[in-house]
Amino acid sequence: MKNQKGWLQVGGADRTMQISAGGFWTIDHVSDLQPAVDGLVIDRTADTEVDFRKIERMDTAGAYLAEQLLSRLDDSTSHQVLSNQHVDSILETVSRYKASAAVRKPRPNALIKIIERIGKATLEALDLAACFVVFIGDITRHLIATIVRPARFRFSLTMTQIELSGFNAIPIISLISFLIGIVIAYQGALQLGKLGAEIYTIDLLAVTILREMGILLSAIVIAGRSGSTFAAEIGSMKINEELDAMYTIGMNPMEVLVLPRVIGLTISLPILTLIANFFGVIGGGLIVWLVMDVSPTMFTNQFVSSLSPWTFWVGLIKAPVFAAIIAVIGCYEGMQVSGSAESLGTHTTRAVVESIFLIIVFDALFSIFFGVIGI
Amino acid sequence: MSSTNGYSINVNDLVVRLGNFTIHDGLSLQVRNGEIIAVVGASGTGKSVLLKTIIGLIKPVNGTIEIFGRNSNQLSSKEAHEVRRRCGVLFQDGALFGSLTVNENIQIPIKEHVKLPQKTREELSALKLSMVGLDRDVGNKYPSELSGGMRKRVGLARALALDPELLFLDEPTAGLDPIGAAAFDQLLLELQKNLHLTVFIVTHDLDTIYTVSNRVAVLGEKKLLVSGSLEEVSAFDHPWVQDYFHGDRSRVINH
């Protein structure tokens, strides 16, 4: 079909003009025919005859082009159109719809558009902030309601969340902190060895892993792992109108979806942190033993003496806070999903990025706080 | 124009299985050039599956499917591309691309298959929008901002973007109000007449069947129960067919 062409010819003697079209006026040939139609020089004093009779096949794209041709003739003096039945019927269809399609809005000027965009973005940001505050309030309200009436607590859903976001994350978190323990001990031994203070590698290991690395690593891995899951799960339920269905059945998504995730993660992240601490210290200890030739007994003695009573707790106190940040942001972003697959992707990404960002901000705040109170 | 033997679609001895479940077992169906065929059947008789098998989304276990006289199993990828260009499909919920505006959705098939200047593409998509009864303003919206009925219309506009010879419609009037549905039927008739479309409709809507279809095919018991003109089919002696055409809901139309 692509081999057959459409054509447009212009002829005629003085005072008359003959425009004839034929062949295939279909979408495949529109780009070939368009220049011919645009380049048509119309003699407005001549009697014009348009002949569509040789057109074998015309589709709406071709008819649109023919319409363009005819509309250029409209304001010239006299013209007549010859066509066959096929062309007539499709031209009629297209011209009818063309009339209603022709209305076009004027485009606003570029500056106004930019200002409009900034304004919209600002309002949106404020709106989002307000929504987030409302969301946190809503969670708190439901949390208090659950504490007051423990019967409403969704125990099995919470246990499932602990399994999914906590238990299933044990292997990856153990491995990562084991490796980081190795890295810290190895680098510590090298650097401190230059000062002849190799033994302090153990102090370095204890403080770094217990105070910062254990919790930070676990939180970041969980933000990537569970934060994204929460947003995607809740988001796709939102797209499917499952949340609306829940409301109508009388289940509150806050109670059924959000609280189990928040409580579940708040329980599992401290446990994961303990595990991360353990494997980090094991990894570091292994290097200290193999590279520095310090026996496990000596390591234990040095390790215990390096700890202040708060070292361990400083790390662990942060865990529930970070867990709440991850879970609340994950669920919130999931709830914000609207309509499209693109929005689901955007909000899932946001859930991860925002929670990692906030975790680090809060870690800094904790450091300052602990520094000020002197532990 | 479509094929030499007079059939746009020729399905022979089709066997389709999804998992362990046999949907079609030896189904045969012919669709003539230029006709509007309505495929009906109870829920779960595999109407949509048949449509998806014909357009190549589901691979049959056995049997042959010819579109425009060419066996779709034996097409080179270039030929298959060409066949697809000549078919338009409207999915049940429109299946619009959520990250693109309505205009971009309609222009996608055009961009993919033909080279056209941006302005012509815009004009064509506005024309298609107006053909399916939507305002030009709708063109700048995203599918998530539209109602279900509007999404369906946009889906049809996208299916019509390339002026296909063969149009597949999956429940085109479901979810439309009666007036909108009637307008849809009229549009379909007009397009079919002017563009010589062959239309394959999966539907439950008796109004659509009465108004637009030249032929009705009833699926059931994993096969084609019967096909023919409306009179022939409604006279067919099968409990479901009798219920369907002579039940409570059909009375309004018969009287």
Q: Could you give the ipTM of this predicted complex?
A: 0.72
Closest-approach residue (CA) in chain B for A33? B116
Using a CB–CB cutoff of 8 Å, tell me whether B117 touches chain A.
yes
Cα gap A176→A282, rounded to integer Å: 12
Beta bridge partners of B169: B90, B201
Pairing relationship of beta strands B215-220 and B62-67 according to DSSP bridges: unpaired
Is the per-residue pLDDT at B248 higher than 80? Answer: no
Question: Angle of helix A341-373 relative to helix A228-239, nearest 10 degrees?
Answer: 140
Q: What is the pLDDT of residue A353?
A: 95
pLDDT tens-digit profile of A179-202?
Answer: 999 999 999 999 998 998 888 999
Structure tokens at A133: 């505050």
The mean-pLDDT minimum among A171-180, A220-229, B131-140 falls in B131-140
Q: Do B130 and A98 touch (CB under 8 A)?
A: yes
Task: Verify whether the Cβ–Cβ distance A27 to B137 is below 8 Å.
Answer: no
Q: Answer yes or no: are the C-beta atoms of A55 and A87 closer than 8 Å.
A: yes
Partner A contacted by B190 (CB < 8 A): yes
Which tens digit of pLDDT belongs to each residue from B189-214? 887 887 788 999 998 888 888 888 88
CB-based contact B136 A104, cutoff 8 Å: yes
Q: Measured between CA atoms, how close is B251 to chain A, in angstroms?
A: 34
pLDDT of residue B165: 86
Residue of B195, B191, B171 lying closest to B181 (CA atoms): B171
Q: What is the per-residue pLDDT across B70-92, written as a single tens digit (0 to 9) for each?
A: 888 888 888 888 888 888 888 88
Give pLDDT tens digits for A23-49: 888 888 888 888 888 887 777 777 788
pLDDT, residue A2, reads: 46
pLDDT tens track for A127-145: 888 999 999 999 999 999 8
Short-list A255, A290, A79, CA closest to A152: A255
pLDDT value for A106: 63
Measured CA to CA, the distance from residue A86 to residue A31 in angstroms comes to 22
Distance of alpha carbon A54 from alpha carbon A52, whole angstroms: 6
Measured distance CA(B233)–CA(B248) in Å, rounded: 18
| Bridge partner residues of B56 (DSSP) | none
Query: No. of H helices and E strands in chain B?
Result: 10, 10
Q: How far is A340 from chain B (nearest CA, A)?
A: 5
Chain A contact probe: residue of B79, B194, B196 with most A CBs at under 10 A: B194
Question: Rounded distance, CA A324 to CA A271, Å?
Answer: 14
Q: How does residue B255 score in pLDDT terms, banded at 50, 70 and 90?
A: very low
Q: What is the pLDDT of residue A118?
A: 94
Helical segments of A254-306, H only: 259-292, 296-306
Distance from CA of B143 to the nearest CA of A (A): 8
Q: Is the pLDDT of residue A3 over 60?
A: no
Residue of B nearest to A339 (CA): B144
**Cβ pair A288, A202 in contact under 8 A:** yes
Side chain identity, residue B83: V
So what's the pLDDT on residue A101? 56
Nearest Cα residue in chain B from A89: B194
Which residues of A are less than 8 Å from B162 in CB distance? 27
B129 and A CB contact within 8 Å: yes
B193 Cβ under 8 Å from any chain A Cβ: yes
Residues of B in contact with A101 (CB under 8 A): 123, 126-127, 129-130, 136
Task: Tell me, yes or no, if B136 comes closer than 8 A to chain A by beta carbon.
Answer: yes
CA distances for B216 relative to A177, A223, B167, B170, B219, angstroms: 67, 56, 16, 15, 10
Q: Does B142 touch chain A (CB under 8 A)?
A: yes
Touching check for B155 and chain A: CB below 8 Å?
no
State mean pLDDT over B239-247: 82
pLDDT average, residue stretch A43-66: 82
How far is A48 from A16, CA to CA, in rounded Å? 6
Asked if A31 has any chain B CB less than 8 Å from its own CB, the reply is yes
Phi, psi of B66 (to 5 degrees): -110, 130
Indicate which of A240, A340, A342, A347 best probes the interface with B, i.e. most B CBs within 10 Å of its own CB: A340
A212-251 pLDDT, tens digit per residue, is 999 999 999 999 999 999 999 999 999 888 888 888 888 8
**Which residues in chain A are contacts of B194 at CB distance < 8 A?**
89-90, 92-93
Edge to edge, what strands does the sheet with B166-170 contain?
B87-90, B166-170, B198-202, B36-40, B215-220, B223-228
Range with lowest mean pLDDT among A278-282, A344-348, A361-365, B160-164: B160-164
Q: Considering only CA atoms, which of A249, A368, A254 is closest in space to residue A314?
A: A368
Q: Give percent of chain A above pLDDT 90.
A: 48
Q: Which residues does chain A have within 8 Å of residue B131's beta carbon, measured at their own beta carbons?
A: 60, 93, 97
pLDDT average, residue stretch B117-127: 84
Using CB atoms, which residue from A30, A89, A94 is nearest to B127?
A94
* Closest in A26, A93, A340 to B142, CB measured: A340
- Tell me the nearest-neighbour CA distance from B18 into chain A, angstroms: 24
* Residue ranges with strand state E in A12-145: 16-25, 47-58, 79-82
- The secondary element (H helix, E strand) that includes residue B96 is none
* pLDDT of the residue at A77: 61
What does the pLDDT read at residue A121?
92
Q: Is the pTM of this model over 0.80?
A: no
* A90–B190 C-beta distance less than 8 A: no
Q: Which of B172, B46, B153 is nearest to B102 (CA)?
A: B153
Q: CB–CB of B209/B38 below 8 Å? A: yes
Q: Looking at the complex, report in whole angstroms how far the Cα of residue B81 sits from the nearest Cα belonging to chain A.
A: 14
Query: What secondary structure does DSSP assign to A236-251, as a single string?
Result: HHHHTTHHHHHHHHT-
